[in-house]
Amino acid sequence: MLRRFIAFMAVWLVAQLDSPALAAGRVALLIGNGAYQQGALTNPTRDVAALKAAFDKAGFDVVEARVDLDRKGMLQALDAFEARARNADVALVYYSGHGIEIGGTNYLVPVDAQLQSDRDVKYEALALDDILTATEGATKLKLIILDACRDNPFAGAMRRIQTRSTVARGLARTEAATPNTIIAYATAPGRVALDGTGSNSPFATALVRHLLTPGLDVRLALGLVRDDVIEATRTSPEPQTPYVSGTVGGAAVSVAPAAGETAKPDAEVTGNRPKPDPERMAREDFDRARSIKSLPAWDAFLRHYPTGLLADLARAEREKLAAVDRAPKPVRPAAAPKPSAPARVVALREPRTVTRSVEATSRSDRPDPTMYSRSVWGKHTLQGQPATTKTAHGTLYCLPGRGQGRQCRWLD
């Protein structure tokens, strides 16, 4: 119990330290997957390199660039990014590579995926929800950019085991649900984006040009990206129109800060945070110790709160528990001995003999000799000399006679 109480205090202390003042202001994770066994892509790794240089130049606090990741690598990268994004101002994830939509759910495809059936996608790919979850800790802007609408090789060859699922071209329309979130797609839902004939995809080229314009609101920046992509793909067989879904409010928010804009001083940041209420914390800890109902829990509480009304109440509660521990325990009466079983007599009779087995028989319990003689000789008349026989009760002596007229006695 004491360990649980101390663990609670440790968690609270960590929560006090885990503040926006200590978090990185703007963090980005860039993933480019191109080395697929089926449908290899040329530009994703180059797209990531170009964007990383742009983010570094824009002064992002953390820019993690990863290429050609298998599923395990993608999960590890997202886990590490989720920790960095907690309490950051801006958290951005960019993904370039194959994506697939099955049954209305969008998935990002690692380079080791086989996807032989629609059922495999849950175990070999990553759902878009995993990316959204990794950005949830950011406070001002959560931005997911997907250059993953390319015509992938998995859809045509994939066996459909789940009859209600459909495998579509491109990605499905997914609306952002959490506040201050934007999802930017390289093209419209259900359409295919181009990998590009140059060193970068049309979408990545436009992102490098506009997204990190200092102080430019992210919605205006993505609008300029859309215009550039439409113009760049205007003459292609399938023109590309980027699509944006978002829940950002009316306040302007930029991916890159304006020139001269710096992070808020620690004093200002911490001043906006609600200050801890010592009385409320003490009451919560008191209730927690009372629910545990142990002496070590009250001892731990009193070490942290040695004075005041709650300390007096804690001592009273502790004394109640101590009194119960000191009270003599009731002595249970010893169980009464079980009564011994009565003596049993088992008799086996053969003609003119008797064999008796006696478990517990005193001499005062010997049967009447005359009556007992009938079990030895029956009702027959004893003629001639007196008869004597040894039994389990002693030596039986009888004078000649018949039945009850026979005279018998025990000799010993």
If asked whether residues 307 and 365 sit together in one domain, one would say no
295-315 confidence digits (pLDDT tens) = 888 888 898 899 988 999 999
Which pTM does this prediction carry? 0.58
Number of neighbouring beta carbons within 10 Å of residue 2: 13
Q: Is residue 335 part of a domain?
A: no
Domain membership flag for residue 105: yes
Asked if residue 95 belongs to a domain, the reply is: yes
- How many folded domains does the chain comprise? 3
pLDDT top residue among 192 and 317: 317
Digit-coded pLDDT (tens) for 54-92: 999 999 999 999 999 999 999 999 999 999 999 999 999
In a domain, 8, yes or no: yes
pLDDT of residue 332: 66
Q: Answer yes or no: do 209 and 253 share one domain.
A: yes
Expressed as residue numbers, the domain containing 288 is 1-17+273-326
102/355 Cα distance (integer angstroms): 94
Show Cβ contacts of residue 67 under 8 Å, excluding neighbours closer than 6 positions: 31, 32, 33, 34, 44, 45, 48
Confidence label for 175 from pLDDT (cuts 50, 70 and 90): confident
In the chain, what percentage of residues exceed pLDDT 90? 36
Q: Are residues 75 and 31 in the same domain?
A: yes
Q: In terms of domains, do 96 and 225 share one? A: yes
Same structural domain, 161 and 281: no
Task: Kindly tell me if the per-residue pLDDT of 396 is higher than 70.
Answer: yes
Picking from 65, 38, 199, 204, the residue whose alpha carbon sits closest to that of residue 124 is: 38
Contact 154, 109 (CB under 8 A): yes
In 3D space, the residue among 129, 97, 127, 125 whose CA is nearest the CA of residue 112 turns out to be 125
Ramachandran category for residue 115: left, alpha or beta (phi over 0 → left; psi -120 to 50 → alpha) = left
Asked whether the beta carbons of 214 and 254 are under 8 A apart, the reply is yes
